[in-house]
Amino acid sequence: MEIQFDIEFKESAPKYMQIIKSLLQAISKGKLKRGDKIPSINQLSEEYLLSRDTVEKAYKHLIKDGVLISVRGKGYFINRVDIETSVRILLVFNKISNYKKQIYNAFVENVGRNVNVDLHIHHSNVNIFKNLIKNSLGEYDYYVIMPHFYEKAEEAIETLKMIPAEKLILLDKDIEMNSKKHSSVFQNFEKDIVSALNEAVDLLKVYKKLILIFPTIIRYPKEIIKGFRIFCIQHEFEHEIIYDFHENSMAVKDTAYVVIEENDLVNLIKKCREQQLTIGKDIGIISYNETPLKEILLDGITTISTDHEQMGKTAAELITENRRAIVKNPFTLIRRKSL
């Protein structure tokens, strides 16, 4: 039986993936049945001017999945026809953290059955990201990406443009890409912190000064700093931005701290104990990003946070409902005893 392979050499998808896709489509349409023989590696290579390595790679994938079987001296045969083509998703985070795990778990739980999710980390390194995307083009049905890059941002955008818009979902941060009509579930880092701190104005007015502790070792969007300044100026708060809170740093009485990174939060709490300052009275603390631990630490740490579970769930729904949208994720203040 002859099988027609639909291989478009102008497509960005790797040719071996197109061979696999063509054969699976022929099986799903009933054109190929169990026991049918397919062209040999040499035959397919010669007919479509493909390298033997390309055809062999495709056949090896199909053998591994049990779709094909190789019979020595006779050739390749269809072994399975009960095929459910799974949705393949490339999920790319900039880093791993407690709240990123919440996003991941919610995404996986809501994206449905018969789905393969491959998680990769780019560490905000554009070169790592470029190589990952170039090597995976055409291999996935969806690309769900956190585009946090602090250097070579234009290169990162050009790499994102290589992905078909209907397959691209940006997560945590949205990026303007001109004509690219991608989807996204995002935070607005500047406006979100202004909005959340506005909910706490009555509590913050108890303190003489507001300090934002912004990390330097682990990078965060600078829009957070801009939003903090806007809020303080609007409400005429004396304010300061300090970079990192070290073990030798000193806590200042009658000050409310907005703390981004958990290491700085730990150091600040330790210092308050050393200086015998009561958190929630002498010192106010607002921590960025909600985690389960902050609900019970010191009888509760006040947080400003996006809803990480909702972000993962919404991204999954865009896939399961097969729709495109730009969605602003909720960001709220959670009041607890530390403020």
Query: CATH number for the 15-78 domain, one of 3.40.50.150, 1.10.10.10, 3.40.50.970, 3.20.20.70?
Result: 1.10.10.10
pLDDT tens for 3-58 read 666 666 555 567 888 888 888 878 877 888 899 999 999 999 998 889 999 999 99
pLDDT tens for 261-299 read 999 999 999 999 999 999 999 999 999 999 989 999 999
Q: State the chain's mean pLDDT as an integer.
A: 91
Q: Determine the pLDDT at residue 65.
A: 83
Q: Determine the pLDDT at residue 179.
A: 63
Query: CATH number for the 87-187+308-330 domain, one of 3.20.20.30, 3.30.200.20, 3.40.50.2300, 1.10.1520.10?
Result: 3.40.50.2300
Per-residue tokens: 66:
């049990």
Instruction: Indicate whether 127 pLDDT > 80.
Output: yes
Q: Assign a CATH topology to domain 190-306.
A: Rossmann fold (3.40.50)
> Is-same-fold flag (15-78; 190-306)?
no
Cα–Cα distance list, 251 to 68, 74, 212, 245, 335 (Å): 67, 78, 12, 9, 21
CA dist., res. 84 & res. 35, Å (int)? 19
Contacts of 45 (CB under 8 A, 6+ apart): 51, 52, 54, 55
Q: Exposed, middle or buried by CB within 10 Å (0-12, 13-18, 19+), for 73?
A: exposed
Per-residue tokens: 242:
């300090």
- The answer to whether 246 and 264 have CB atoms below 8 angstroms apart is no
Per-residue tokens: 245:
């809170």
- One-letter amino acid at 59 equals Y
Q: What is the mean pLDDT of residues 200-225?
A: 95
Q: Determine the pLDDT at residue 215.
A: 95
- Residue 53 has a CB neighbour count (10 Å cut-off) of 11
Q: Determine the pLDDT at residue 302.
A: 98
Instruction: Indicate whether 171 pLDDT > 80.
Output: yes
Instruction: Indicate whether 61 pLDDT > 80.
Output: yes
Q: Determine the pLDDT at residue 2.
A: 55
**Position with higher pLDDT, 79 vs 82:** 79
- The answer to whether 167 and 322 have CB atoms below 8 angstroms apart is no
Q: At what angle do helices 98-110 and 308-320 cross, to 10 degrees?
A: 30
pLDDT tens for 142-157 read 999 999 999 998 999 9
Question: pTM, whole model, 2 decimals?
Answer: 0.77
Distance separating the N- and C-terminal Cα atoms of the chain: 74
pLDDT tens for 82-125 read 876 678 899 999 999 888 999 999 999 999 888 889 999 999 99
Q: For the chain, give every domain's residue range.
A: 15-78, 87-187+308-330, 190-306
pLDDT tens for 213-256 read 999 988 899 999 999 999 999 999 999 999 999 988 999 999 99
